[in-house]
A and B are shown apart, each in its own frame.
Chain A
Amino acid sequence: MYFSFTDEQEEFRSVLRRFLTEKSSPIEVRRLMETDEGYDKVVWQQLSKELGLTALAIPEEFGGSGFGVTELAIANEEMGRALLCAPYFSSAVLATTAILRAATKEQKTRWLPGLASGDSIATFAYAEQGGNWSDAEVATTAEPAADGYKVTGTKCFVTDGGVANQIIVVARKPGTVDSDGLMLLAVDAGAQGVACSQMPAMDPTRKLSTITFDAAQGELLGTDDAGAALAETLQVAAVCLAHEMAGGAERLLESAVDYAKLRFQFGRPIGSFQSLKHKLADMLMDVELTKSGAYYAAAAVDEGDPEAPVTAALIKAFASDVYMQTAVHTVQIHGGIGFTWENDTHLWFKRAKSSEVFLGTAASHREQMMRAMQV
């Protein structure tokens, strides 16, 4: 069960691959990455309304289709392959998962149908200036006020902050530290005291914002003790990001393989030289190991495996190392052309670089894994 997909899941993947091949070609990626919004509204409509991708992991009672993390992860893997420019990870993975894990039933009823249909776009604000994605780093506070909470602080590296209409903010009770006193709050992007500015993202396919909250009105998700829900949200996010990275790495490998067969030097295809053959075999191994780990981790979360926290941290760390290494090798195999703007490799290279640290570095995830294993 952990190691194979059902025929339905395979079919889902191939439908998605066809869709993304058409809608997210490198030409489209290049067009969208130059825009401020960073996504195509028509494609977003199609992927949410026609393919139902934004509804995948949302239960049917809240307007979703009731699938698990496994299906959500397949979507991310395919989007990673195609380098889809869309607020999918922010909205359908991060914010949706946070709501699913922390919100009350009434809140879910109010918010999830909009997210499921794609009419509403949400994002998730956790990291601050240090860019560590750690509980200890959270300085933003939430204080009870007349009708809800007042949120004050500055969030950084918020993905798709510029297009989200709802922000799920991680804040803390004043005076608490580390994982104590953490709360998840929903803030309207248009609320008074909320100011969003774009950060200069090196990966133009992943838009980043700084969002400041100056006593902005927030609505508490569930209870005021959200530490566990936050941890679960981050696990799902780590697993989905690992899939996105696996998909991107596989795409890079394929482009390197194709190029090594086409490019002739010294009278023979460069792929006939052992120095390249061996590098490509190493790349294949890395990519396949990552896929196995990612698939296992998604199933572990879906099945409530008590080791899921270990597995999620493990695969985020492993996948980010592999994605980056694969990108480095792919540029190298392309030689000079691989370092040009014209060649598409840099698009994935930059995504690999930004994924390396997004949600926390590999080193921090390895440490997280060791603690979860009680070493």
Chain B
Amino acid sequence: MQHTEEEVRSALRQWLEQNWDPDSSLIEWRNKLVDSGWGVADWPSEWFGKDLPLALMPIVNEEFQRAHAIGVANKGAGRLAAMTLLEHGTPDQKSQFLRRILTGEDVWCQLFSEPGSGSDLAGANTRAVLQGDHWLVNGQKVWTTSAHHADYGFLLARTDMDIPKHQGLSFFLIDMRQPGVEVKPLRQMNGHASFNEVFLTDAIIPKEYLVLSEGDGWKIATTTLMYERRNADSTLRGKKAHGGEQRIYQEEAEEIRVANEPYTWYPQRAGRVDLVVQRAQETGRNTDPVVRQEIAKLICLNRCVEWTARRARTAQEQGRPPGPEGSLGKLASSVVARAANRVHTMIAGGDAMLTGEDSPMQGVIAEVLVSTPAISIAGGTDEIQKNIISERVLGMPKEPRTDVDVPFRDVKKNSF
């Protein structure tokens, strides 16, 4: 087993020198990577990894970068599926799905949120009923990224209405390419359609696609969500193609283009603080003392948020116990985005009434103004974040609940 930094570095460097071939196809290369264990070196050695401690992974990444070599497709919902299966899947499930996730041949999506259960994820209403050797699924999921080109999904569905809500959920893998699965794009208030609604009508799931046992759904979903939070920034979003001319780089560029399609407006969702000073100078609003104050307040806030993120990262890198600063990033980004929206509006003046190519910055500012409301909702609303921070970091007592110790059938639900 290689353990020192230098051993890992030289072993990988040597392997890449012998094997990296930019003229091969993406899938061919990734299969080779998967076989070698270098694609996911921190994974267990019986499942395509090398048991490498996390602390040594930066070395692996450096060597890949140094060689301009492409890594496995271990991102987005596919990564969440993989991490969940690594922890909870059967050997059959692992051998059926992990490799094709890593090669990028299978695209995955996450089927958790429903129109009737957003913040209250454990209130999912989608039903799965066992019929002989398969489950029959009926219900609706929403906010599903990539559902329109996904091969598989992981699904949280209710298998028992007569026990408390958290206990009656199960976790399934579902083939998205079947007649019982209908995917429709969901148009947002900013005009984009980055997500989908997924309608499940007598959709079929083979028995072998249940993960762990019936009733374990909540426990497994919690694992998935933990990885989602931990890897919030490691989707393909923001990933840049290598830019090489060879075949493999072209294929990777196309993969990134497709994966990034839903996210073109995400920088605008975060408020585009980076544009504020430039916009103020271009419009001359930087001479207005009131606008100057508001810009300055935004800059103060934004910098302190960035420094807090760096402080949290430093603590993590040094292996220090995570302080409260690590739990605040999501909430802080909402506050920044809202403040940025106000400041961009002040700077734009009447132009804030316009949209499209002929509006400020070819519509980028208009997109900021109608996109920031998403950031305080997606991935856990500010209100839920505050509950979590308050209970887990500050130790505030939980609110009394009426929905946990009774059969799910008797819990009050949405009437619309």
Contact = CB atoms under 8 A, between A and B. Distances in A.
B386 A289 contact: no
What is the interface of chain B mostly: helix, strand, loop, or mixed? helix
Given A289-B304, A292-B325, A271 B396 contact: yes
Interface in B316-353: 318, 320, 323-325, 328, 331-332, 335
A4 B277 contact: no
Could you say which interface size class chain B belongs to? 35 or more
A292 B307 contact: yes
Interface in A298-318: 311, 314-315, 317-318
Contact of A272 (B289, B313, B315, B396): B396
Contacts of B310: 2-3, 292
Given A2-B310, A4-B314, A373 B277 contact: yes
A288 interface: yes
Interface residues of A, number: 40
B268 to A, nearest CB: 22
B390 A3 contact: no
Contact of A289 (B296, B305, B383): B305
B299 interface: yes
A314 B389 CA distance: 26
Contacts of A290: 304
A314 B300 CA distance: 6
Contacts of B318: 4
Interface string A272-298: 111011101110110011111101100
A290 B305 CA distance: 9
A98 B303 CA distance: 28
Contact of B399 (A274, A317, A370, A373): A274
Best-surrounded residue of B299, B301, B387 (most CB of chain A within 10 A): B299
Contacts of A288: 308, 323-325, 328
Nearest to B389: A281
Given A3-B310, A281-B385, A285-B328, A293 B292 contact: no
A130 interface: no
A272 B398 contact: yes
B58 interface: no
Given A285-B331, A367-B296, A375 B325 contact: no
Contacts of B91: none
Contacts of B187: none
Among B304, B308, B310: residue with most chain A CB under 10 A:
B304
A280 B396 contact: yes
A284 B392 CA distance: 12
A292 B395 contact: no
A217 B228 CA distance: 69
Contacts of A291: 311, 325
A278 B386 contact: yes
A100 to B, nearest CB: 26
Contacts of A3: 307, 310-311, 313-315
A277 B295 contact: no
B277 A375 contact: yes
Contacts of A293: 300, 303-304, 307
B400 A268 contact: yes
Contacts of A57: none
B306 to A, nearest CB: 9
B286 interface: yes
A273 B391 CA distance: 11
24 contacts: A4-B315, A261-B396, A269-B397, A271-B396, A272-B398, A272-B400, A273-B399, A274-B383, A277-B396, A281-B387, A281-B393, A281-B394, A284-B324, A284-B394, A289-B304, A289-B305, A291-B325, A292-B325, A293-B303, A293-B304, A315-B304, A317-B296, A318-B304, A366-B300
4 closest pairs, A vs B, by CB? A366-B296, A277-B390, A281-B386, A3-B314
Interface of A: 2-4, 257, 260-261, 268-269, 271-274, 276-278, 280-282, 284-285, 288-293, 295-296, 311, 314-315, 317-318, 363, 366-367, 369-370, 373, 375
